Structure 1
Amino acid sequence: MKEATVWPGILAGIVAAMLTAAPVAAQKKYDLGASDTEIKIGQTMPYSGPASSYGTIGQSMAAYFEKINAEGGVNGRKIKFISYDDAFSPPKTVEQTRKLVESDEVLFVAASLGTAPNVAVQKYLNSRKVPQLLVASGATRWSDPKNFPWTMGWQPSYQAEGAALARYSLSARPGAKIGILYQNDDSGKDYVKGFKAGLGEAIRQIVAETSYEVTDPTVDSQVVALKTAGADVFFLHANPRFTAQAIRRAYELNWRPATIIASVGASVGTALAPAGLEKSIGSVTAAYLKDPTDKMWENDKAYLDWLAFMKQWYPRGSLTDGSNVYGYSLAQTIVLVLKKCGDDLTRENVMKQAASLKDVELPMLLPGIRINTSSEDFFPIEDMRLARFDGTSWVLMNDPDGKP
């Protein structure tokens, strides 16, 4: 048998190519919080305190990550999700966030809830170059990549939503007398700023404007003041607990204004049901996620998949609380970003991949609404649709003027 001949120059070239290619193929990059087997993600969430109704967001996210881990994880790595209670108290948020970064050594912080709590740690996380990813708040400051390159929002901005709701109210009741109740923090001020911008010259139609603190026991006196001022349109920005109180109190006073409810307080399960569903009939809100109480989705595959997820992985979670759709969708976004990172699990690459999402269609986003980000745009979701409450669920309207 004739032996094959390999010329020395060719052999040297083959060996050199192998030596060059091998490290590239096997190259992995990790920052603190990532390894061959694990990805650590941190979060603060109000599991107690005045905003505890939102705690289910963290629990639904934890359940989704548990599901992902059971299916093999992300690129072969299991997610270790560390979610601490901050009771919606900024000083507590600072304490818990420092623990996540300095003791738990998470790769990044994701979907921590609340405007004031996240403001309290924004500079700290950016100074440490730790991603503050997909903040669970619609404050405009989460899309400021020039000054805060490590902070990114997720949901539509409160200002944009407020403006859209104001335009609807003018269309529905051009000569309305408007009363406003809002939470006295950056989130409430953002909503009011957007609402006033949407009113334009009609801002003079605001007859009363009042606020509440999250530590207040009730908003009864504020609702009385708005009724006394003669308002016939009620713009209500509040968390679910205070939304329920405001709706109930207005009904008790026999005050029947056209009610416009900010999306953050529009959950059927945690706001409208406790107030009494019949008291909110005709109210309008803005939406970007499928409402689990809306019968139009009862045969929708995405809804059925969410329902199956809830029953298997989060059976104690409410099927009428939109916050569980919110948490599920947030977790899906995080998993998508991690998949895009591949084996480069550095904090810099996490932000790079989060800032390069193109036309992402999450299952529970409303049809036509997509996630898009860039190095200049840190608001992944920017579109919303109006919906009217029919006594059972939020029913989508077909156009911006609110016509059915």
Structure 2
Amino acid sequence: MNTRSLLVFAVAAGVTIGSHQAFAQKQYGPGASDTEIKIGNILPYSGPASAYAIVGKIAAGYVKMINEKGGINGRKINWISYDDAYSPPKTVEQARKLVESDEVLFLYQTLGVPPNLAIMKYMNQKKVPQLMLATGGTKFGEDPKSFPWTMPFNASYQSEGRVYAKWILKEHPNAKIAVLVVNDEYGKDIYKGVKDGLGDKTSMIVAEATYDFNDPTIDSQIVKLKASGADLVLNLSQPKFAAMAIRKMGELDWKPVHILNNVSSSVGAVIKPAGFNYAQGIISAGYYKDPTDPAWKDDSGVKECEQFLQKYAPDADRNSNLVTYSYAALQTLQYILEQAGDNLTRENIMKVSENLNGFAPSTLLPGITLKTSPTDHFPIEQMQLMTFEGNNWVTFGPIIEGKLSN
């Protein structure tokens, strides 16, 4: 090759390299840099929903693990988590602090229906991703056109309610149903799913009892439901109150068919405090592996989670299925950040989150995968029924599709 040819080659190569560099140029939104990714989180570390604080413990441990391994694409995660005590006004305060003062790239795994409803409009006005919420509130995924920056992680509560209704109609078509339900947006959401699922059979519901988060006890509600003559109970309660209900029913020696909602299916936070003897035969629905179930003893995903716990969250309650739930949620966070690469803008984080084409966290039940699109903000729309036997949950039946369109 002569001198002129070398010069032409060098110039051409330079143009090519320069174009490639321009194409691969790093892009950052607030909270992102060459060395750091700031992510915000709000959880009830105190108050009536503090049983969920374990979600934060697992998240902090997982982030520490990632950072010790070098971070994501060379960037360390700065996980900033605040307590809202499950109080919506406090959630608003903490969200503003995270967005306007801490300047996080996005919020992840903020917990609960009322708290997330309180900040949803604000987050969308600010165009800050409100991602993989630790709630299955139907409102958070049903209208992505109006709220494009919001996406839940959990299966939709209305879908879960319909799953129970379908099972009742099939297995107990003549049941007399009593419903215990929390008096908040979560309770209304899942109960709507039940009623929609029952359709013209809502007359099967013979009694209802509600409670508020500040109620010291729900004994009177359980006594009322028992007096109704119901032979099937839908326990649509938060963990603390679900445990109270299970124990009170046991003390009254009332043994109807008992369906317990997924958010209160934790062995450590609900079943154990209520009493294993009172929980036998309870039915629920899930989508992540129960670490207490012997069926998963040799499962690679559960083993991997246990190894993580031993090093990064050694005092986490091994009886809580919130452990495997949280592990799956944090695997999803890692996946989203890895897919985003060097384009760490809020817009791209949302784009990646809207294109989860079958990603399968290792602690979700086999066959359950995450699928999203710009018009479908429900990553998980499948569940499986399970019954409590001995000291753990045992799954039964097929994976059930719970799409809202079904």
TM-score by length of 2: 0.95
SS in 2 for 1:256: coil
Structure 2: how far apart are the matches of 1:301 and 1:126? 38
8 Å contact from structure 1 (residues 44, 85) kept in 2: yes
Query: In the alignment, what sits opposite 1:312?
Result: 311
Query: In the alignment, what sits opposite 1:272?
Result: 271
Q: Which amino acid aligns with 1:44?
A: I
**Is the deviation greater in 209-218 or in 8-17?**
8-17
Structure 2: how far apart are the matches of 1:14 and 1:376? 43
Aligned CA distance change for structure 1 residues 13 and 216 (closer, same or farther; 3 Å): same
Task: Give 1:155 shift.
Answer: 1.2
Structure 1: how far apart are the matches of 2:12 and 2:2? 21
Task: Give 1:355 shift.
Answer: 0.3
Task: Give 1:8 shift.
Answer: 6.3
Matched, 1:334 2:333: yes
1:40-79 to 2 correspondences below 5 Å: 40-79=38-77
Task: Give 1:294 shift.
Answer: 0.4
Task: Give 1:142 shift.
Answer: 1.1
Q: Decide which structure has greater strand share.
A: 2
8 Å contact from structure 1 (residues 64, 331) kept in 2: yes
Structure 2: how far apart are the matches of 1:75 and 1:400? 35
Matched, 1:142 2:144: no
Task: Give 1:400 shift.
Answer: 7.5
Aligned CA distance change for structure 1 residues 302 and 14 (closer, same or farther; 3 Å): closer
1:175-190 to 2 correspondences below 5 Å: 175-190=174-189
Query: In the alignment, what sits opposite 1:95?
Result: 93
Task: Give 1:238 shift.
Answer: 1.1
Structure 1: how far apart are the matches of 2:135 and 2:95? 17
Query: In the alignment, what sits opposite 1:112?
Result: 110
Q: Which amino acid aligns with 1:246?
A: A
SS in 1 for 2:124: helix
SS in 2 for 1:384: strand
Matched, 1:165 2:164: yes
Pairwise CA RMSD = 1.5
Aligned CA distance change for structure 1 residues 7 and 168 (closer, same or farther; 3 Å): closer
Structure 1: how far apart are the matches of 2:285 and 2:15? 61
1:98-156 CA deviation, whole Å, 9 max, x = no partner? 11111111000001000000000000111000000001111111112111000001111
Query: In the alignment, what sits opposite 1:357?
Result: 356
Instruction: Point out where structure 1 has 5 or more consecutive residues left out of the alignment.
Output: none
Query: In the alignment, what sits opposite 2:217?
Result: 218
Matched, 1:247 2:246: yes
SS in 2 for 1:359: strand
Q: How many residues align?
A: 399
Task: Give 1:221 shift.
Answer: 1.1
Task: Give 1:10 shift.
Answer: 5.5
8 Å contact from structure 2 (residues 325, 364) kept in 1: no
8 Å contact from structure 1 (residues 168, 400) kept in 2: no
Aligned CA distance change for structure 1 residues 16 and 308 (closer, same or farther; 3 Å): closer
Aligned CA distance change for structure 1 residues 15 and 266 (closer, same or farther; 3 Å): closer
Q: Pick the aligned partner of 1:82 from 80, 83, 86.
A: 80
Matched, 1:385 2:379: no
8 Å contact from structure 2 (residues 179, 208) kept in 1: yes
8 Å contact from structure 2 (residues 383, 399) kept in 1: no
Structure 2: how far apart are the matches of 1:3 and 1:207? 94
Structure 2: how far apart are the matches of 1:359 and 1:19? 36
Structure 1: how far apart are the matches of 2:152 and 2:180? 25
8 Å contact from structure 2 (residues 291, 319) kept in 1: yes
**Is the deviation greater in 207-216 or in 344-353?**
207-216
Aligned CA distance change for structure 1 residues 5 and 203 (closer, same or farther; 3 Å): same
Q: Which amino acid aligns with 2:70?
A: G
Q: Pick the aligned partner of 1:37 from 35, 38, 44.
A: 35
SS in 2 for 1:332: helix
Task: Give 1:12 shift.
Answer: 4.5
Q: Which amino acid aligns with 1:376?
A: T
Structure 1: how far apart are the matches of 2:14 and 2:240? 69
Structure 1: how far apart are the matches of 2:13 and 2:74? 32
Task: Give 1:21 shift.
Answer: 2.9
Structure 2: how far apart are the matches of 1:104 and 1:134? 20
Instruction: Point out where structure 2 has 5 or more consecutive residues left out of the alignment.
Output: 401-406
1:46-71 CA deviation, whole Å, 9 max, x = no partner? 00000000010011011111111111
**Is the deviation greater in 336-345 or in 391-400?**
391-400
Structure 1: how far apart are the matches of 2:399 and 2:166? 8
Matched, 1:122 2:120: yes
Query: In the alignment, what sits opposite 2:20?
Result: 21
Q: Aligned residues: percent identity?
A: 47
